[in-house]
């Protein structure tokens, strides 16, 4: 795309910039994580040379994220990941600073794709070399329509559950071509943004749209993951009786332990006054369900895409339709009853409200910045795959926000630390040790076939299989010189299941030393007859 063909920005109304700037300045005080990253990395400019194309809700909070990225040296261009989620004053304020923004509330589907494509090439004609995505649309467009750009992209970071599922499908199919960081599953994102953010923003969106009194109503929440948990809690605290629809028995049991009813959508549909889908799955509320709902049932979605609710059925089969106000539509169905659909089946908290509060988004966006720094600063370190942010960085994000709220963390004494530890000190981001202590790990003899031992690395427990010399085992041992085959594949197995990860001999494997890679660090120890000594390399 030639520079003279490119608009410097496209927003709804650039005159809204002054209003947006006031809100950005107010939000900065509520986003301590991003402000701490500016202070820590601003002088070094670790993102210098990066050209980041971002596709994430263009809100006031996102404006603070964008200005953090630019403060750290990045060139940035932006589009929104939802046609209804842009806050026009935020888009105008960022555009006025010279950052190309292509986003406005109420885009058509065609305009939405056009906006994303404007972020792929910068004003000098240079293509993007980093992706910051929310939901996977930017990632998919680059892979499917602009594959020639992939070679120059160092990596991408993905914000939400739906986008991570998309990455995993791409990786499994061999279609993912760049390293990707899964920001969504950082603890300070999924357990805060998804849960506490939705707990506040769901009710805000519903009330702005309908002025409904929640107390005394029956709320039906489809999905009891982190997002669903936040939604159910929000309805409950506002006085609703809540029914949860769930396919996972563990999540269903969690819901019941919180005092919620658990039922199928078929059974709950005639009871509900307010329906919220939070599954990421398609066809959760179907046309048949709509026809059985009570008069003026309110139906909304808080999952990323609009496939959870069959809005197309309602539009096609409705006897009449009235648009009450933007993103609030009332349909008369053949059943003779009305239903109210919010945000056209898209994200209700952003379509009908302003989304999550600034503080909780500071947690999520701090992880995004750290992921971008890690990928940009370490070219070649990561192969094509989907990676998690190291726990030590997750904890750093949490620590900043604890302090911002006036909290003070306790510190273990040496005796407490030794008592608490089940293995050697937690790995740090650079693989160094927090302390030089070592710990012997007792092993359990399993019919003289192998030994197993439980260890803890970076806060997670693993059960590791150690060879004792049997010919069918895969880990090298001092007791089995003939078993030292460096080509034998080895894995560890997380307690409770999970994805295998590499386990292999260290360069001096003749010394019977075990190395377990974990995140950005490694745990290393000698394999002996009855126990294992582990330390952090």
Residue 408 has pLDDT above 80, yes or no: yes
Question: Which of the residue ranges 179-183, 195-199, 265-269, 476-480 would you say has the lowest mean pLDDT?
Answer: 476-480
Spell out a b/e string for 150-182, using b for 16 or more CB atoms within 10 Å of the CB, else e: eeebbbbbbbbbbbbebbeebeeeeebbbbbbb
C-alpha 463/C-alpha 442 separation (Å) is: 12
The 10s digit of each residue's pLDDT in 200-246 is: 999 999 999 999 999 999 999 999 999 999 999 999 999 999 999 99
Calculate the alpha carbon distances from 70 to 38, 50, 106 in Å: 10, 10, 27
Q: Listing from the earlier edge strand, what are the strands of the sheet with 155-158?
A: 101-102, 75-79, 51-55, 130-133, 155-158, 180-182, 386-388
For the cut 70, the answer to whether the pLDDT of residue 291 exceeds it is yes
End-to-end CA distance of the chain: 48
Spatial CB neighbours of 243, under 8 Å, sequence gap ≥ 6: 218, 219, 220, 221, 260, 261, 262, 263, 268, 271, 272
**Residue 190: both structure tokens together:** 């999924």
Average pLDDT across the chain, whole number: 83
- The C-alpha atoms of residue 7 and residue 1 are separated, in whole angstroms, by 11
Q: What is the pLDDT of residue 420?
A: 57
Residue 263: alpha-carbon gap to chain centroid: 28
Name the burial class of residue 536, with classes exposed (0-12), middle (13-18) and buried (19+) by CB atoms within 10 angstroms of its CB. buried
Provide the pLDDT for residue 445: 54
- CATH T-level assignment (fold) for domain 196-352: Rossmann fold (3.40.50)
To the nearest 10°, the Cα dihedral for 285, 290, 295, 300?
Answer: 30
CATH 3.40.50.720 boundaries in the chain: 196-352
pLDDT of residue 465: 56
- In the chain, which residues fall in CATH 3.40.50.1480? 24-189+356-402
Sheet harboring 320-325: ordered strands across?
A: 261-262, 241-245, 218-222, 274-277, 297-301, 338-342, 328-332, 320-325
Catalytic residues: 57, 80, 85, 134, 159, 184, 189, 193-194, 198, 304, 356, 364, 368
- Res. 419 pLDDT band, cuts 50 70 90: low
- Whether 120 has a pLDDT exceeding 80, the answer reads yes
* Burial class (CB within 10 angstroms; exposed 0-12, middle 13-18, buried 19+) of 123: middle
Question: Phi, psi at residue 91, to the nearest 5°?
Answer: -60, -40
Of the candidates 101, 34, 22, the residue with the CA atom closest to the CA atom of residue 68: 34
Spatial contact of 272 and 264, defined as CB atoms under 8 Å apart = no
User: What Å distances lie between residue 347 and 47, 86, 219, 278, 290, CA to CA?
Assistant: 31, 12, 17, 10, 19
Indicate the angle between helix axes 88-96 and 17-28, nearest 10 degrees: 90
pLDDT of residue 499: 34
d(CA 47, CA 72): 6
Mean pLDDT of all residues in 407-426: 66
pLDDT for 436 equals 38
323 token code pair = 């648009």
Asked if residue 452 has pLDDT above 90, the reply is: no
Band of residue 51 on the pLDDT scale cut at 50, 70, 90 = very high
Give the pairing of strands 75-79 and 101-102: parallel
CATH class of domain segment(s) 24-189+356-402: alpha beta
Pairing of strands 241-245, 155-158: unpaired
């Amino acid at each position: 795309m030639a520079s003279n063909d490119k608009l410097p920005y496209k927003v709804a109304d650039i005159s809204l910039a002054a209003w947006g700037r006031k809100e950005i300045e107010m939000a900065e005080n509520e986003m301590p994580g991003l402000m701490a990253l500016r202070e820590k990395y601003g002088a070094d400019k670790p993102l210098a040379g990066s050209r980041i194309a971002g596709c994430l809700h263009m809100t006031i909070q996102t404006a603070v994220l964008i200005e953090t990225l630019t403060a750290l040296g990045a060139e940035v261009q932006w589009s929104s990941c939802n046609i209804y989620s842009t806050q026009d004053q935020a888009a105008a304020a960022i555009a006025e600073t010279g950052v190309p923004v292509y986003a406005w509330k109420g885009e058509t589907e065609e305009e939405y794709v056009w906006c994303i494509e404007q972020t792929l090439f910068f004003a000098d004609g240079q293509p993007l070399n980093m992706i910051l995505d929310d939901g996977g649309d930017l990632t998919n467009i680059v892979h499917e329509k602009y594959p020639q750009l992939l070679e120059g992209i160092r990596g991408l970071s993905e914000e939400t559950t739906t986008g991570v599922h998309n990455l995993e499908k791409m990786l499994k199919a061999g279609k993912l071509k760049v390293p990707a960081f899964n920001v969504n599953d950082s603890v300070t994102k999924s357990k805060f943004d998804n849960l506490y953010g939705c707990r506040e923003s769901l009710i805000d969106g519903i009330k702005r749209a309908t002025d409904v009194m929640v107390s005394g109503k029956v709320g039906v929440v489809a999905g009891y993951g982190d997002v669903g948990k936040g939604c159910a809690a929000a309805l409950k605290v506002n006085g609703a009786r809540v029914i949860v629809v769930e396919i996972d028995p563990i999540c269903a049991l969690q819901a019941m332990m919180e005092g919620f009813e658990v039922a199928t959508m078929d059974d709950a549909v005639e009871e509900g006054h307010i329906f919220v889908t939070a599954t990421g799955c398609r066809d959760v509320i179907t046309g048949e369900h709509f026809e059985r709902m009570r008069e003026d049932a309110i139906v909304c979605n808080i999952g990323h895409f609009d496939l959870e609710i069959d809005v197309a059925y309602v539009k096609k089969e409705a006897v009449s339709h009235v648009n009450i106000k933007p993103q609030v539509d009332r349909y008369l169905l053949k059943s003779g009853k009305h239903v109210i659909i919010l945000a056209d089946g898209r994200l209700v908290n952003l379509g009908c409200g302003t989304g999550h509060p600034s503080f909780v988004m500071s947690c999520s966006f701090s992880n995004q910045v750290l992921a971008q720094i890690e990928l940009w600063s370490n070219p070649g370190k990561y192969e094509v795959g989907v990676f998690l942010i190291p726990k030590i960085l997750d904890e750093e994000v949490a620590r900043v926000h604890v302090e911002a709220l006036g909290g003070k963390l306790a510190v273990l004494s040496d005796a407490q630390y030794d008592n608490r530890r089940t293995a050697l000190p937690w790995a740090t981001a650079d693989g160094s040790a927090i302390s030089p202590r070592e710990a012997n790990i007792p092993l359990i003899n399993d019919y003289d076939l192998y030994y197993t031992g439980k260890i803890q690395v970076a806060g997670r427990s693993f059960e590791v299989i150690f060879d004792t010399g049997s010919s069918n085992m895969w880990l090298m041992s001092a007791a089995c010189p003939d078993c030292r085959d460096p080509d034998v594949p080895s894995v560890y197995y997380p307690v409770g299941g999970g994805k295998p990860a590499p386990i292999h001999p260290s360069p001096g494997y003749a010394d019977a030393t075990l190395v377990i890679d974990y995140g950005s660090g490694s745990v290393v120890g000698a394999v002996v007859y009855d126990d294992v000594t582990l330390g952090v390399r």
